[in-house]
Amino acid sequence: MVKILLDTDIGSDIDDAVCLAYLLAQPECELLGITTVSGEPEKRAAMASAQCRAAGKEIPIFPGAALTLLNGQRQPACPQAEALDRWPHQANFPRGEAVEFLRRTIHAHPGEVTLLTIGPLTNAGLLLRTDPEIGGLLKGLVMMCGVFSNRRPGVGPLEWNALIDPHATAIVYETGAATHRSIGLDVTMQVRLPAEEVRARFNHPLLRPVLDFAEVWFEQRPHITFHDPLAAVTIFNDGVCTFERGRVEVELASPRFAGHTQWTLDPNGPHEVALEVDAGAFFNEYFSVFK
Protein backbone atom coordinates (compact mmCIF):
# COMPACT_ATOMS: atom_id res chain seq x y z
CA MET A 1 0.00 0.00 0.00
CA VAL A 2 1.20 3.49 -0.87
CA LYS A 3 0.50 6.09 1.81
CA ILE A 4 -0.79 9.32 0.23
CA LEU A 5 -1.63 12.77 1.58
CA LEU A 6 -3.64 14.80 -0.94
CA ASP A 7 -3.57 18.61 -1.03
CA THR A 8 -6.18 19.95 -3.45
CA ASP A 9 -8.17 22.95 -4.65
CA ILE A 10 -11.07 20.69 -5.62
CA GLY A 11 -14.06 22.67 -6.87
CA SER A 12 -12.29 24.96 -9.34
CA ASP A 13 -11.00 22.78 -12.20
CA ILE A 14 -12.94 19.49 -12.33
CA ASP A 15 -9.77 17.41 -12.65
CA ASP A 16 -9.21 17.49 -8.87
CA ALA A 17 -12.42 15.52 -8.34
CA VAL A 18 -11.43 13.16 -11.16
CA CYS A 19 -8.10 12.63 -9.39
CA LEU A 20 -9.68 12.00 -5.98
CA ALA A 21 -11.99 9.36 -7.48
CA TYR A 22 -8.94 7.53 -8.83
CA LEU A 23 -7.21 7.56 -5.43
CA LEU A 24 -10.36 6.28 -3.71
CA ALA A 25 -10.64 3.43 -6.22
CA GLN A 26 -6.93 2.58 -6.47
CA PRO A 27 -6.47 -0.65 -4.44
CA GLU A 28 -2.81 0.15 -3.72
CA CYS A 29 -3.61 3.60 -2.26
CA GLU A 30 -3.86 4.22 1.47
CA LEU A 31 -5.26 7.75 1.52
CA LEU A 32 -4.24 9.10 4.92
CA GLY A 33 -5.97 12.45 4.58
CA ILE A 34 -7.02 15.38 2.43
CA THR A 35 -6.31 19.08 2.86
CA THR A 36 -7.92 21.80 0.78
CA VAL A 37 -6.44 25.09 -0.37
CA SER A 38 -7.57 28.37 -1.94
CA GLY A 39 -10.84 30.30 -1.61
CA GLU A 40 -13.79 28.72 0.22
CA PRO A 41 -11.71 25.83 1.59
CA GLU A 42 -14.64 24.52 3.65
CA LYS A 43 -16.77 24.08 0.51
CA ARG A 44 -13.86 22.31 -1.10
CA ALA A 45 -13.60 20.06 1.93
CA ALA A 46 -17.32 19.29 1.63
CA MET A 47 -16.86 18.25 -2.00
CA ALA A 48 -14.03 15.91 -1.01
CA SER A 49 -16.26 14.53 1.75
CA ALA A 50 -19.05 13.81 -0.74
CA GLN A 51 -16.70 11.69 -2.83
CA CYS A 52 -15.31 9.87 0.21
CA ARG A 53 -18.83 9.03 1.38
CA ALA A 54 -19.73 7.77 -2.08
CA ALA A 55 -16.74 5.45 -1.72
CA GLY A 56 -17.81 4.37 1.77
CA LYS A 57 -14.56 5.65 3.27
CA GLU A 58 -13.90 7.84 6.30
CA ILE A 59 -10.91 9.97 5.34
CA PRO A 60 -9.68 12.86 7.54
CA ILE A 61 -10.34 16.16 5.73
CA PHE A 62 -8.99 19.55 6.79
CA PRO A 63 -9.71 22.92 5.13
CA GLY A 64 -6.42 24.74 4.64
CA ALA A 65 -5.24 28.17 3.55
CA ALA A 66 -7.76 30.37 1.77
CA LEU A 67 -5.22 33.14 1.04
CA THR A 68 -1.81 33.03 -0.64
CA LEU A 69 1.33 33.82 1.35
CA LEU A 70 1.71 37.37 0.03
CA ASN A 71 -0.75 38.02 -2.80
CA GLY A 72 -4.09 37.74 -1.00
CA GLN A 73 -7.03 35.99 -2.66
CA ARG A 74 -6.49 34.89 -6.26
CA GLN A 75 -9.07 32.07 -6.54
CA PRO A 76 -12.01 33.12 -4.39
CA ALA A 77 -14.81 30.76 -5.39
CA CYS A 78 -15.58 27.04 -5.45
CA PRO A 79 -18.16 26.95 -8.28
CA GLN A 80 -18.74 23.18 -8.43
CA ALA A 81 -19.98 23.21 -4.83
CA GLU A 82 -23.41 24.16 -6.19
CA ALA A 83 -23.96 20.42 -6.83
CA LEU A 84 -23.27 19.48 -3.20
CA ASP A 85 -26.93 19.44 -2.13
CA ARG A 86 -27.42 16.28 -4.16
CA TRP A 87 -24.70 14.32 -2.33
CA PRO A 88 -24.39 13.44 1.39
CA HIS A 89 -21.33 15.09 2.88
CA GLN A 90 -19.72 16.26 6.09
CA ALA A 91 -20.75 19.83 6.92
CA ASN A 92 -18.35 20.87 9.68
CA PHE A 93 -14.59 20.59 9.66
CA PRO A 94 -11.70 21.47 12.00
CA ARG A 95 -10.33 24.94 11.23
CA GLY A 96 -6.74 26.04 11.22
CA GLU A 97 -5.36 22.52 11.57
CA ALA A 98 -4.51 21.50 7.98
CA VAL A 99 -0.78 22.21 8.06
CA GLU A 100 -0.36 20.66 11.51
CA PHE A 101 -2.30 17.59 10.33
CA LEU A 102 0.10 17.19 7.40
CA ARG A 103 3.12 17.69 9.65
CA ARG A 104 1.89 15.26 12.30
CA THR A 105 0.98 12.56 9.79
CA ILE A 106 4.32 12.72 7.98
CA HIS A 107 6.21 12.52 11.27
CA ALA A 108 4.12 9.49 12.25
CA HIS A 109 5.20 7.64 9.07
CA PRO A 110 8.79 8.71 8.32
CA GLY A 111 9.94 7.74 4.84
CA GLU A 112 6.54 6.28 3.93
CA VAL A 113 4.27 9.16 2.85
CA THR A 114 3.94 10.67 -0.61
CA LEU A 115 2.53 14.19 -0.55
CA LEU A 116 0.50 14.76 -3.73
CA THR A 117 -0.25 18.42 -4.42
CA ILE A 118 -2.77 19.23 -7.14
CA GLY A 119 -3.55 22.85 -6.30
CA PRO A 120 -1.72 26.06 -5.40
CA LEU A 121 1.18 25.34 -3.08
CA THR A 122 0.24 27.53 -0.11
CA ASN A 123 -0.37 24.67 2.32
CA ALA A 124 2.79 22.88 1.18
CA GLY A 125 4.84 26.07 1.46
CA LEU A 126 3.57 26.72 4.97
CA LEU A 127 4.29 23.10 5.94
CA LEU A 128 7.86 23.22 4.69
CA ARG A 129 8.57 26.60 6.30
CA THR A 130 7.00 25.52 9.59
CA ASP A 131 8.97 22.27 9.76
CA PRO A 132 12.14 22.23 7.63
CA GLU A 133 12.65 18.51 8.42
CA ILE A 134 9.55 17.50 6.43
CA GLY A 135 11.31 17.17 3.08
CA GLY A 136 13.66 14.57 4.50
CA LEU A 137 10.80 12.64 6.09
CA LEU A 138 8.74 12.29 2.91
CA LYS A 139 8.93 9.26 0.66
CA GLY A 140 8.01 11.56 -2.20
CA LEU A 141 6.62 14.92 -3.23
CA VAL A 142 4.56 14.69 -6.42
CA MET A 143 3.00 17.81 -7.93
CA MET A 144 0.85 18.82 -10.84
CA CYS A 145 2.73 22.07 -11.26
CA GLY A 146 4.67 24.18 -13.73
CA VAL A 147 5.61 24.19 -17.39
CA PHE A 148 8.92 22.60 -18.35
CA SER A 149 9.31 23.10 -22.07
CA ASN A 150 12.20 25.52 -21.37
CA ARG A 151 10.39 28.50 -22.80
CA ARG A 152 11.40 31.93 -21.58
CA PRO A 153 8.95 33.84 -19.34
CA GLY A 154 6.29 35.37 -21.54
CA VAL A 155 6.74 32.75 -24.28
CA GLY A 156 4.05 30.10 -23.96
CA PRO A 157 1.70 29.47 -21.04
CA LEU A 158 2.19 29.85 -17.32
CA GLU A 159 0.72 27.16 -15.08
CA TRP A 160 -2.01 28.07 -12.59
CA ASN A 161 -0.88 26.04 -9.58
CA ALA A 162 2.61 27.53 -9.81
CA LEU A 163 1.65 31.14 -10.43
CA ILE A 164 -1.30 31.57 -8.03
CA ASP A 165 1.09 31.57 -5.03
CA PRO A 166 4.56 31.98 -6.53
CA HIS A 167 6.34 32.46 -3.20
CA ALA A 168 4.96 29.16 -1.92
CA THR A 169 5.98 27.55 -5.20
CA ALA A 170 9.54 28.78 -4.74
CA ILE A 171 9.64 27.41 -1.18
CA VAL A 172 8.53 23.98 -2.35
CA TYR A 173 11.13 23.79 -5.12
CA GLU A 174 13.85 24.83 -2.67
CA THR A 175 13.04 21.84 -0.47
CA GLY A 176 14.59 18.44 -1.00
CA ALA A 177 12.72 15.13 -0.94
CA ALA A 178 13.65 11.57 -1.80
CA THR A 179 11.46 11.92 -4.90
CA HIS A 180 10.62 15.48 -5.99
CA ARG A 181 8.46 15.02 -9.10
CA SER A 182 6.61 17.56 -11.23
CA ILE A 183 4.09 16.82 -13.97
CA GLY A 184 3.68 20.06 -15.89
CA LEU A 185 1.07 21.64 -18.10
CA ASP A 186 3.00 20.95 -21.30
CA VAL A 187 2.53 17.21 -20.65
CA THR A 188 -0.89 17.12 -18.97
CA MET A 189 -2.48 19.00 -21.88
CA GLN A 190 -2.03 15.79 -23.90
CA VAL A 191 -4.56 13.80 -21.85
CA ARG A 192 -8.04 15.14 -22.57
CA LEU A 193 -11.51 13.71 -23.14
CA PRO A 194 -14.55 15.48 -24.66
CA ALA A 195 -17.66 15.88 -22.52
CA GLU A 196 -19.56 13.24 -24.50
CA GLU A 197 -16.95 10.58 -23.79
CA VAL A 198 -16.74 11.57 -20.13
CA ARG A 199 -20.50 11.16 -19.77
CA ALA A 200 -20.31 7.75 -21.45
CA ARG A 201 -17.40 6.43 -19.36
CA PHE A 202 -18.10 7.93 -15.91
CA ASN A 203 -20.66 5.29 -14.94
CA HIS A 204 -18.93 3.75 -11.92
CA PRO A 205 -20.48 4.69 -8.53
CA LEU A 206 -17.32 6.58 -7.52
CA LEU A 207 -17.48 8.65 -10.69
CA ARG A 208 -21.15 9.61 -10.47
CA PRO A 209 -20.65 12.53 -8.06
CA VAL A 210 -17.69 13.62 -10.20
CA LEU A 211 -19.91 13.67 -13.27
CA ASP A 212 -22.46 15.74 -11.37
CA PHE A 213 -19.75 18.26 -10.44
CA ALA A 214 -18.52 18.10 -14.04
CA GLU A 215 -21.83 19.31 -15.43
CA VAL A 216 -21.08 22.66 -13.77
CA TRP A 217 -17.67 22.59 -15.47
CA PHE A 218 -19.17 21.70 -18.85
CA GLU A 219 -21.25 24.89 -18.80
CA GLN A 220 -17.99 26.70 -19.64
CA ARG A 221 -15.82 24.04 -21.33
CA PRO A 222 -16.64 21.06 -23.57
CA HIS A 223 -13.92 18.73 -22.26
CA ILE A 224 -11.88 17.59 -19.26
CA THR A 225 -8.11 17.69 -19.27
CA PHE A 226 -6.76 15.10 -16.82
CA HIS A 227 -3.97 17.27 -15.37
CA ASP A 228 -4.18 16.09 -11.76
CA PRO A 229 -5.10 12.45 -12.42
CA LEU A 230 -1.94 12.11 -14.51
CA ALA A 231 0.15 13.19 -11.52
CA ALA A 232 -1.63 10.66 -9.31
CA VAL A 233 -1.30 7.81 -11.80
CA THR A 234 2.49 8.26 -12.02
CA ILE A 235 2.74 7.33 -8.33
CA PHE A 236 1.39 3.87 -9.10
CA ASN A 237 2.59 3.48 -12.68
CA ASP A 238 5.42 5.82 -13.59
CA GLY A 239 5.74 4.12 -16.96
CA VAL A 240 2.96 6.31 -18.38
CA CYS A 241 5.41 9.23 -18.46
CA THR A 242 9.04 9.73 -19.40
CA PHE A 243 10.99 11.61 -16.71
CA GLU A 244 14.32 13.41 -16.63
CA ARG A 245 16.23 14.84 -13.69
CA GLY A 246 17.17 18.48 -13.52
CA ARG A 247 16.78 21.68 -11.58
CA VAL A 248 13.70 23.91 -11.42
CA GLU A 249 13.98 27.62 -10.64
CA VAL A 250 10.92 29.76 -9.92
CA GLU A 251 10.69 33.35 -11.13
CA LEU A 252 9.94 35.86 -8.36
CA ALA A 253 11.73 39.04 -9.45
CA SER A 254 9.26 39.91 -12.22
CA PRO A 255 5.69 40.51 -10.97
CA ARG A 256 4.38 39.85 -14.46
CA PHE A 257 5.92 36.38 -14.67
CA ALA A 258 6.04 35.40 -11.00
CA GLY A 259 5.60 31.65 -10.72
CA HIS A 260 7.19 30.81 -14.06
CA THR A 261 9.13 27.55 -13.74
CA GLN A 262 12.43 27.30 -15.60
CA TRP A 263 13.85 23.78 -15.86
CA THR A 264 17.48 22.88 -16.64
CA LEU A 265 18.55 19.33 -17.48
CA ASP A 266 20.98 17.95 -14.88
CA PRO A 267 21.38 14.19 -14.27
CA ASN A 268 22.27 14.96 -10.65
CA GLY A 269 19.58 17.59 -10.15
CA PRO A 270 17.05 17.46 -7.30
CA HIS A 271 13.91 17.60 -9.42
CA GLU A 272 12.27 14.96 -11.60
CA VAL A 273 10.18 16.38 -14.45
CA ALA A 274 7.79 14.65 -16.86
CA LEU A 275 8.70 15.31 -20.48
CA GLU A 276 6.38 12.93 -22.38
CA VAL A 277 3.21 10.95 -21.74
CA ASP A 278 1.70 7.87 -23.36
CA ALA A 279 -1.91 9.05 -23.39
CA GLY A 280 -3.34 5.64 -24.22
CA ALA A 281 -1.44 3.96 -21.39
CA PHE A 282 -2.56 6.68 -19.01
CA PHE A 283 -6.28 6.29 -19.78
CA ASN A 284 -5.99 2.50 -19.59
CA GLU A 285 -4.42 2.82 -16.14
CA TYR A 286 -6.89 5.44 -14.94
CA PHE A 287 -10.04 3.55 -15.86
CA SER A 288 -8.63 0.14 -14.84
CA VAL A 289 -9.32 0.83 -11.15
CA PHE A 290 -13.06 1.37 -11.68
CA LYS A 291 -14.29 -2.21 -11.77
Q: Are residues 145 and 117 in contact, defined by beta-carbon separation less than 8 angstroms?
A: yes
What is the per-residue pLDDT for 11? 97
Q: What is the pLDDT of residues 68-93, one digit of tens each?
A: 999 888 899 999 999 999 999 999 99
The per-residue pLDDT for range 49-71, each reduced to its tens digit, is: 999 999 999 999 999 999 999 98
Question: Given pLDDT bands bounded at 50, 70 and 90, which one contains residue 152?
Answer: low
Of the pLDDT bands very low, low, confident and very high (cuts 50, 70, 90), residue 138 is very high
* pLDDT tens per residue, range 20-36: 999 999 999 999 999 99
pLDDT of residue 85: 94
Flag whether pLDDT at 156 surpasses 80.
no
Top-tier CATH class for 2-288: alpha beta
Phi, psi at 279, each rounded to 5°: -60, -40
| Residues in contact with 281: Cβ distance below 8 Å, sequence separation at least 6, in sequence order | 237, 239, 240
User: 3-state DSSP call for residue 172?
Assistant: helix
pLDDT of residue 42: 98
Measure the CA–CA gap between 175 and 5, rounded to whole angstroms. 17
Helices (H), 202-278: 208-218, 227-236
Q: Model pTM?
A: 0.97
DSSP 242-264: EEEEEEEEE--S-GGGTT-EEEE
**Are 9 and 121 within 8 A, CB to CB?**
no
